[in-house]
């Protein structure tokens, strides 16, 4: 596989469930990102990892927990979510965290919280 | 307060004509700007970027113009093609952080 892949593509979960989103990049990049896109709102950056270290957390609630075990994989662990967390969650990667590096996006996970 | 705005949610253009997508920003500290294109069921893909020290960057059919005094940038696509139909996002960067606009849906009619 090439590029940035995300699984699952669609996820429906209850407020008491625990689930995880997975992102994998095959580009040899060192920076990975989680974004949230809610309906009719701009893309919101959630977390940034650079060389496996978390470098940014943009005031994301603790019910979202990222994990980056290596430069190729990024997870977003979800627990006790709220219906307003329903959104498209996009993963991206770039060569390094330098914002002038092009970011390559995955197709996203469409999350619905009931 | 939204720092990056794309005031036109949609734009419809005839094939072969020019498409002009606009983006306004409020933070004069933004030093780098990018445009992304997004097809349904896919993640955004990078199109073109421009540094704040420039006023124009061109790549094939795509040209980005930056007017710093007006805090305005635009993406020109010429000639427009039906395959250009997508959602276009502008993004502005300051201190390493990217802020995205809401997106403009471009429809190019054959």
Judged against a pLDDT cut of 80, whether residue B96 lies above it is answered with no
* Amino acid A40: pLDDT: 74
- The nearest alpha carbon in chain B to A105 belongs to B43
> How many residues comprise chain B?
110
Scanning B70-89 for CB atoms below 8 A from A yields 89
Looking at per-residue confidence, does B98 or A108 come out higher? A108
Is A41 in contact with B103 (Cβ distance < 8 A)? no
Mean pLDDT, residues B86-100: 87
Would the pLDDT of A2 be above 80?
no
Which tens digits make up the pLDDT trace of A75-103?
999 999 999 999 999 999 999 888 778 88
Residue B74 pLDDT more than 70? yes
pLDDT of residue A59: 84
Confidence of residue B42 (pLDDT cuts 50, 70, 90): confident
DSSP notation for chain A: --SEEEE-SEEEE-TT-EEEEEEEE-S--SEEEEEEE-TTS--EEEEEEETTEEEEE-S--TTEEEEEEETTEEEEEEES--GGG-EEEEEEEESSS-TTSPPEE---EEEEE-
A94, A29 Cβ separation under 8 angstroms? yes
Alpha-carbon distance A111 to B62, whole Å?
33
| pLDDT above 70 for A1 | no
Nearest residue, CB atoms, B102 vs list A42, A91, A92? A42
């Amino acid at each position: 596989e090439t590029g940035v892949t995300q699984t699952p593509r669609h996820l429906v979960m209850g407020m008491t469930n625990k689930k995880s989103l997975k992102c994998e990049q095959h580009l040899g990049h060192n920076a990975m990102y989680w974004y949230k896109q809610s309906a009719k709102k701009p893309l919101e950056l959630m977390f940034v990892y650079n060389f496996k270290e978390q470098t940014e957390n943009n005031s994301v609630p603790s019910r979202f927990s990222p994990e980056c075990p290596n430069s190729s994989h990024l997870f977003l662990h979800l627990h006790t979510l709220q219906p307003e967390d329903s959104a498209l969650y996009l993963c991206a990667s770039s060569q390094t965290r330098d914002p002038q590096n092009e970011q390559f996006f995955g197709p996203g996970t469409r999350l619905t919280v009931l | 307060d939204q720092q990056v705005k794309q005031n036109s949610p949609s734009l419809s253009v005839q094939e072969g004509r020019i498409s002009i997508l606009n983006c306004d920003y409020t933070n004069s500290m933004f030093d780098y700007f990018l445009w992304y294109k997004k097809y349904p069921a896919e993640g955004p893909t990078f199109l073109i970027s421009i540094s704040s020290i420039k006023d124009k960057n061109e790549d094939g059919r795509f040209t980005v113009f930056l007017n710093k005094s007006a805090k305005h940038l635009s993406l020109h696509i010429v000639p427009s093609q039906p395959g250009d139909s997508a959602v276009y996002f502008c993004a502005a960067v300051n201190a390493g952080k990217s802020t995205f606009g809401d997106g403009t849906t471009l429809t190019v009619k054959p």
